[in-house]
Structure 1
Amino acid sequence: MNEQRLAVELPGLTLKNPVMPASGSFGFGDGRIALENDLNQLGAVVLKTTTKNARTGNPQPQIAQFPEGVLNSVGLTNPGVKAVVQQKLPALRTKYPDLPLIGSVAGESVEDYMIVAQQLAESGLLQALELNVSCPNVAEGGMQFGVDPRTITKLTSLVKQQVDLPVYVKLSPNVTDIVECAQAAALGGADGLTMINTVYGMRIDPVTRRPAVGNVMGGWSGPSLKPLAIRMIYQVAQQVALPIIGVGGISSAADVIEMYLAGASAVQVGTAQFSDPLACWHIIADLEEELDKLQLTSLTELRNEVKEGFLNERR
């Protein structure tokens, strides 16, 4: 494999390829898939979302699988930022000293985000942070941080003032205007965007007459999410000059190319791992063949071509 063909440069991140597991997929590098395979072959690893205090998550069942996707209401289960900084991160960094690591930050208040972001950054073990703004803002009556552009700007700006790492904002699709939300993140000083998080959904079991997950509703992901992700990335890429990490329904190298054509500069893979635990590795192995089909020398060439196309469309 020619790593130069697949190499990606993003703020704070030098990636040998554009593929990384989405937050939650590999835990803190201590999940089964992560323990049984070489993470150094990936572009980067996005860690499980961390909150100020430990969380046990939502009622069981937390995950329901369907042919067309997965509904999850895990509820950001994690041991809390103190345990992550003192135990999880050192163990992972010792095993993988050169692997780019991205911490995922969440909270119930702006202050929570700032505390978690600061402690993760001060560990010196991460290359970037990703703000999960799809969390309920307790101070605002439970409304998600990511649905209010003013809140996105404020949150991003305060975190940026608190840390010296690049900050990527993971946008929620559960909004009226995704471009406005992306512009709000840019205004707050975001270094990049991750698009998109899960769609708020629900499934009901006809036999039990009960919701499929214990929390009644949850985040929907999988192949059926891809058209929405592609559309939103395309819209944002034409209006906001920030690099985008595309996520939503990716299960093949062809999907990665489609994300690039929409305007992404790297990708995250999540739900595909339910059916193929080695999805990330398989996608990386197939990427060069996809570039050959398009007669492209590198992903950088593809990205530059797409960027120039967007500029021409705006003229």
Structure 2
Amino acid sequence: MADLSVKFKNLTFKNPIIMASGTFGFGREYNEVYDISQLGGVSGKGLTLNAKPGNNGIRVWETPSGMINSVGLENPGVEGFIEKELPFFEKLDLVRIANVGGGCLEDYIKGVELLNDKDIDIIELNISCPNVKAGGMAFGIKSEVAREVVREVRAVCKKPLVIKLSPNAEDIVEMAKVCEEEGADGVSLVNTFKALAIDIKNRKPVFENVYAGLSGPAIKPIALRMVHEVCKNVSIPVFGMGGITTAEDAIEFIMAGATCVQIGTANFMNPRVGLEIIEGINDFMEKEGIKSLDEIRGII
């Protein structure tokens, strides 16, 4: 077996495969399909300070080589997670990541503070959330707005902090640099792309919120480019994602510089895709005589 392990801070991932937030729940359902402790890590469903019911109307729409979602961060809230989901989540033998979002800075801070003493390994801060106090623009669009969020959360966060970046940022490379400057331990990218679907028979948008998030294989080449650009401009680890469905896709992201990769939409296409990608990376490394991922990481 090749060595697929990955070091991040004081943590060791068994392999570079992490299940992306919002596509894997907290792992409970997928654990009935296979032993998910074979994965490197799981980023749990995005949490907001208070429980959210999610968006009304259609939530998922298939597109060529992808899907658009408007789930709306449906989640049990941080305290609901701690009470109902954490007892299962904390027992998983892998790197456990809590994804935290918020509608205002205070919500981010309170959410992180509640998780500080819980048995999770990493906080992944989702700055693609709309800032309700600033007219709805996402925190992750303008670098200086993101700077304040990262700085304030870093000041209270006691765990390794990874910032999840939106591809809709004005300048994603500058955004990543700002996160590094303010003390982030890593960045993950990319989140979904802002997209639109229209119901031509009813002559209206498919989604009640009009715009929604595009993911899946269709975005991979753009996501790969963004990950490559960010990796060339920051010194902190980058968790790459965006349309990864095969071992070859994952290897591309690692060659572009990613420390680990996250698998999202592919889980809906194939519930066992994580295991297949791990096996595929191992097979590739053995055939190519590669002993460690460090030999190929960032070679492009």
TM-score for both structures, normalised by structure 2? 0.95
Letter in 2 for 1:118: E
Q: Which has the higher helix share?
A: 1
Q: Distance in 2 between matches of 1:217 and 1:13?
A: 37
1:227-306 maps to which residues of 2 (within 5 A)?
227-303=221-297, 306=298
Q: 1:126 deviation in Å?
A: 0.5
Deviates more, 1:268-277 or 1:202-211: 202-211
Map 1:172-187 onto structure 2 (within 5 A). 172-187=166-181
Provide, for residues 22-50 of structure 1, a one-character-per-residue CA deviation record: whole Å limited to 9, x for no partner.
001121223x3233321110001100010
Matching residue of 2:121 = 127
- The partner residue of 2:195 within 192, 201, 205 is 201
Identify the match of residue 81 of structure 1 among 68, 78, 81. 78
Q: Partners of 2:128 and 2:90 in 1: how far apart?
A: 28
1:19 aligns with 2:12: no
C-alpha displacement of 1:154:
1.4
* Deviation of the 1:186 alpha carbon: 0.7
Q: What is aligned with 1:103? A: 98
**Residue 93 of structure 1: how far off its partner (Å):** 2.0
Query: Which letter does structure 2 place at the counterpart of 1:65?
Result: E
- Residue 167 of structure 1: aligned partner: 161
Q: Which amino acid aligns with 1:71?
A: I
Cα-to-partner distance string for 1:157-216 (whole Å, 9 max, x where unaligned)? 211111210000011000231111001111110000101000010111333433233332
SS at 1:259's partner residue? Answer: helix
Unpaired runs of 5+ in structure 1? 311-315
- Cα distance per residue 1:230-270 (max 9 Å; x no partner): 11111111111110000001000101110011110100000
AA at the equivalent of 2:22:
G
CA–CA distance in structure 2, aligned partners of residues 34 and 211 of structure 1: 36
Separation of aligned partners in 2, 1:12 and 1:113: 24
Residue type of the partner of 1:141?
G
Alpha carbons of structure 1 residues 25 and 15: separation in structure 2 relative to 1, 3 Å: same
The residue identity in structure 2 corresponding to 1:229 is A
> 2:45 is paired with a residue of what secondary structure?
strand
Paired letter, 2:214: W
Of all paired residues, the percent bearing the same amino acid is 40
2:8 paired residue number? 10
Match of 1:313 in 2: none
The alpha carbon displacement at 1:12 in A equals: 4.3
How far apart in 2 are the matches of 1:12 and 1:128?
A: 11
Find the counterpart in structure 2 of residue 145 from structure 1: 139
Is residue 2:62 matched to residue 1:65?
Answer: yes
2-side partners of 1:276 and 1:214: how far apart?
28
What is the CA-CA distance between 1:293 and the residue it aligns to? 4.5
2:33 alignment counterpart: 36
CA contact (8 A) 2:33 2:271 kept: no
Cα distance in 2, alignment partners of residues 139 and 205 from structure 1: 32
Q: Which runs of 4+ in 1 moved over 4 A?
A: none
Which digits, 9 at most, give the CA deviation of each residue in 1:55-85, with x for residues without a partner?
0001121111223111001000001111111
- One-letter code aligned to 2:77: G
The separation in 1 between residues aligned to 2:10 and 2:22, in whole angstroms, is 21
> For the residues of structure 1 that align with 2:288 and 2:191, how far apart are their CA atoms?
29
Cα RMSD over matched residues? Answer: 1.5
Tell me the TM-score normalized by structure 1: 0.91
CA distance in 1, matches of 2:199, 2:188: 32
Does residue 48 of the first structure (1) align with residue 45 of the second (2)?
yes
Letter of the 2:241 partner, please give it. V
User: Is this contact kept in 1: 2:101–2:108, CA < 8 A?
Assistant: yes
Query: Any stretches of 5+ residues in structure 2 without a counterpart?
Result: none
Aligned residues of 2:128 and 2:166 also touching (Cα < 8 A):
yes
Partner of 2:216: 222
